[in-house]
Every structure is written in C-alpha cells, then in structure tokens.
Amino acid sequence: MLAHHGGRQATTTFSVLSEVTPMASTAHPDAQEGTASGVLARMSARGHEQVVFASDPASGYRAIVAIHSTRIGPALGGTRMWAYATEEAALTDALRLSEGMTYKAAAAGVPFGGGKSVVIADPKTADRPAVFRAHGRAVEGLGGRYITSVDIGTSPDDMRYVREETTHVGGLPTTVGDPSPATARGVQRAIEASLHHVRGSADLAGRTIAIQGLGHVGYHLARMLHDAGARLIASDTNDERAARVAKEFGAQIVAPESIHTAKADVFAPCAFGAGLSPATIPALRCEVVAGAANNQLLSDADGALLEKRSIAYAPDFIANAGGLIYLCQEVAGWTAERVARTLEGIFDTTVAVFDAASKRGIPSSEAAVQITRERLNAAPRLATGRPR
C-alpha cells in the first residue's frame, strides 16, 4: 500500500481477507503454515467482515486488523501491542476482541461497529515512532471503515504517531484524555448492579472485592471501590503497582496465581482475558464476577459453569464499555453530559441482562449476546463513515 503524507513517501504492505470484498490474497506472505489457512472459515463462523495482515519491514511493524462489523457505523477498537508467541495467538486475539467490540458498542448504544488491531512486537523494545506511523498508514488504507485508539501496550503518545498518517484515530493526549477512569466507573456500576441482583442492595460499603490486575483501569477501580467503602484484595504481576494500591487504598496483596481463589463478594478480572475456564471456575469463592478484562470466558460454555455455581456474571462487554463511551466525545461529538448519562446506564443494562437471563432460563453471558444481536439485527445498515 503506497501512501503519501506531507511530501514523504512511505510504504506499508498488507494483505486482505474479507467476506464483503474480493480477497486480495489467501494469506500474509510471511504467515506460518496454519496461521492464515482457515481464516475465512473462522470469519464466517463469527460474522467478521474483514481481516487485514499488515507489515512494514523497515520498521519491524507486523500487525493484524480485524473488522467484525460496520453495520451501525465504522468499526472502532483499540490497538494492542504484545509480544505474541505465535501469529495464530495474535489472530485469535484480534478476532475475539473485535467481535467483543461490536457487542460492546451495540449494548452501550454508541454509533460504532467493532474492530481491533494487534501489533506483534515487544512493547519494551519496539521502535514506537516508526511502528505506529506504519500502523497509521495501514489504518488509513481502510478508508474510514476502522477507527483505532489505545489498548494494552499502547498509549496516547503512540496515537500521536498514528495521527501523523491518518485521521481515523482517537485516544490522543491533547483531546479528551485517559479513558481509564471512565472504564473503571462503568465496571463499578456493573459491580453495583450485580450486587443488587444477588443481595438486593448495590451498597459497596463493607463488601470485599478481589481485583486481578492493577494497570490503568484496575488502579482507578481500586480507588473508586475504596472511596465507596469496599475492602480490597488485589494482585498484579508488577510489584510496584501492587505496592501502590496497598499503600494508597489498604489493599491486601496476594499472589497473581491465587487471586481468583480469594474469598470475596466480588471477583473483578482486570487483566488479560480467558481467565474464567473449567480450570479456574471451580476454585472461585465469590458471588459475583464483574471486571474490566475483555473476553473473560475461555469459551462460551464457561458462562454456564458460572451459572451452575450460582455466581452472577456481569458480561465483560457490558461492564467494560465505559472507555468506548468516553471516546464518543472525541470521535462522535458527544457532550460530556451525554457521556456521563450513558456511562451511568451500565447499571440498568446489567440489571436488564440478569432479568433477561432469568426469564429465558439461560446464563447471563448468553442473554447479553442474544439481546445485543437482537439490537444489531433491528438496526438499519448504515454507510460506513465517521458518525456526525
């Protein structure tokens, strides 16, 4: 893909696998056997519209951009940078995360579809200016079908480099600022709704909450829960982050590998996804699971395992929609008042999911997906473009 920016010539190559446009190639040229084969079948199974494999050898940039849906607006989703062990792991992450963004946007009532980028690189050693400029060119090549922002391993400063090559980017340091507090607030409201469901009261005072992961969102969640009177148990693989939360909020710090076994009213996963599985769910000692991590269930069947144990699960794409809602100030022109109102609505949405699950006799994870798909199917298909 040849692009011109500010008189410079820069080249980023990418191959496209798509369900809605002709396929440009069957696989990324450097993909290992088994990585790209079968991608179209996986896309069809989960409803993805497009997958792009992008590379820029000069900068070391390698990435996958997955667009799940543009039915109600351009796909919006952050860029994650991680040293994936295999390209297959990166592809799986991109597909799952982009699908989750579709559901997150539809459930929250924001005018976007779902997408996600994963950059395959070590965040500690990558040439960030060059890599993210290359990423900007790849995003620009999608012509507005996809808008990116920050995610794990990336920052608002990285988005500045993306912005040098494309306008289809949010999360910039000079605009609305860090969305992490908004994400944390949404998780807090989901926790409160879940406690209301199981205990009849949303009051956090005196409740014990175990937080897994104390990054940007986990830290702000700890602060908000502490301010609301909750007792905290917490863990993080970074000792400095754990020590900070212990010092500032009096959290009891436990080993990361045992946080899910802590006796608590609520377990709040705020690190990586796929942590709720047949191996971990039997060890949970809580009444509620509600956190900020994406794709918390290892598989769809794990929602039923939580239900069987009478653990109320606030589906992740409902609970963690606060950051997406917050970005609507920047990418959709929403007022701060509209953002705040929609953010507080996560409580009602979570309650509605539990009510639907009870009426339909299904796990809350399944009810959330059903409700969201019903909304998507009822929505008119819009021409892709930035919402006005």
Mean pLDDT of the chain: 90
Q: What is the pLDDT of residue 178?
A: 81
Domain end among 163, 192, 223? 163
Residue 140 domain-assigned (yes or no): yes
Co-location of 233 and 352 in the same domain: yes
Cα–Cα distance, 227 to 184 (Å, whole number)? 13
Answer yes or no: do 217 and 343 share one domain.
yes
What does the alpha-carbon distance between residue 223 and residue 164 come to, in Å, rounded to a whole number?
A: 35
Q: Which helix (H) or strand (E) holds 374?
A: helix 364-378
Pairing of β 61-69 and β 50-56? antiparallel
Task: Point out the catalytic residue in the list 116, 247, 263, 359.
Answer: 116
124 included as an active-site residue: no
Last residue of a domain, one of 109, 131, 163: 163
232 and 356 housed in the same domain:
yes
Question: Do residue 107 and residue 251 come from a single domain?
Answer: no
Averaged pLDDT, 309-332 = 96
Residue-wise pLDDT tens digits, 106-155? 999 999 999 999 999 999 999 999 999 999 999 999 999 999 999 989 99
Residue 26 banded pLDDT, cuts 50, 70, 90: very low
Which of 109, 132, 163 is the last residue in one of the domains? 163
Residues 133 and 231 in one domain: no
- pLDDT value at position 12? 67
The answer to whether residues 159 and 185 belong to one domain is no
pLDDT band of residue 380 (cuts 50, 70, 90) is: confident
How many domains does one find in the chain? 2
Give domain status of residue 384, yes or no.
no
Domain housing 143 = 2-163
pLDDT, residue 379, reads 83
For residue 302, the model assigns a pLDDT of 98
Q: Are 104 and 179 in contact (CB under 8 A)?
A: no
pLDDT at 35 over 60: no
Cβ neighbours of residue 129 under 8 Å, at least 6 residues apart?
161
Residue 3 has pLDDT above 60, yes or no: no
Residue 123 domain flag: yes
Mean pLDDT of the 252-260 span: 98
Please tell me whether residues 152 and 251 are part of one structural domain. no
Specify if 168 maps to a domain.
no
